[in-house]
């Protein structure tokens, strides 16, 4: 019904927040991630993916709710 997508979105939000809070790529290679693949950029990318997963889950739930049969 779409609950799996909502779980995926929650995991992506949490994973992105943990990466950003711990500054994971920058900590492993100081000076190497100043312009590309910094934790802030990865965080934003994961937030966009999480929003897409949340939208997909909500759309699946709406299709399930509006249809008599679960053929969405």
Domain locations along the chain? 2-70
- Report pLDDT digits (tens) over 23-54: 888 888 888 888 888 889 999 999 999 999 99
Per-residue model confidence (pLDDT) at position 72? 61
Helical segments of 1-72, H only? 3-22, 24-28, 39-66
Q: How far apart are CA 1 and CA 48, in angstroms?
A: 22
Per-residue model confidence (pLDDT) at position 70? 56
Q: Is 67 helix (H, G, I), strand (E, B) or coil?
A: coil
Q: How far apart are CA 6 and CA 64, in angstroms?
A: 15
Per-residue model confidence (pLDDT) at position 57? 94
Is the dihedral angle over the CA atoms 43, 49, 50, 52 positive or is it negative? positive
Higher per-residue confidence, 56 vs 71: 56
Q: Within 10 Å of residue 27's Cβ, how many Cβ atoms? A: 10
């Amino acid at each position: 019904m779409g609950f799996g997508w909502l779980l995926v979105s929650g995991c992506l939000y949490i994973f992105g927040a943990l990466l950003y809070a711990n500054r994971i790529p920058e900590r492993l290679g100081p000076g190497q991630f100043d312009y590309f693949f910094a934790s802030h950029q990865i965080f934003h990318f994961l937030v966009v993916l999480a929003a897409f997963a949340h939208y997909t889950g909500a759309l699946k739930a709406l299709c399930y709710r509006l249809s008599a049969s679960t053929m969405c």
